[in-house]
Amino acid sequence: MTVYLVSILLLLGSAFILIAAIGLVKFSDLYSRMHATTKATSFGTLLLLIAVSLFFNTPAIYIKALLVIIFIYLTAPLAAHSIAKSFIAKKDKDSQKQKD
């Protein structure tokens, strides 16, 4: 029974990451691309790590997977925010050059 649950979680996690990759290619502006990749990739990685934890079923793997999940959920929004902030700063700098 665990093998079926692990398989379903792996497929769902991979599907979310694939959807994020498609969103990265299809969306036109930076903000939509960041939203698609940050949300879907974080959730897809969560599902993959849960599947790995269930498959190996050891406390060490549980702890490592939990630490990776915490790291991803803390750093993905920060990275997206930093990218958006630098994009806004660059856009403002470019608009100032055009005015001069």
Range of the domain at 22: 1-98
With 80 as the cut, is the pLDDT of residue 8 above it?
yes
Task: Write out pLDDT tens, residues 33-42.
Answer: 998 899 999 9
For residues 81 and 40, give the distance between their C-alpha atoms in angstroms, rounded to a whole number: 16
Task: Write out pLDDT tens, residues 55-95.
Answer: 999 999 999 999 999 999 999 999 999 999 999 998 877 77
pLDDT band per the 50, 70, 90 thresholds, residue 24: very high
With 80 as the cut, is the pLDDT of residue 99 above it?
no
C-beta neighbour count of 67 within 10 angstroms: 11
**Which contiguous run of DSSP H or E holds residue 98?**
helix 59-99
- On whether the pTM is more than 0.95, the answer is no
Number of domains into which the chain is organized: 1
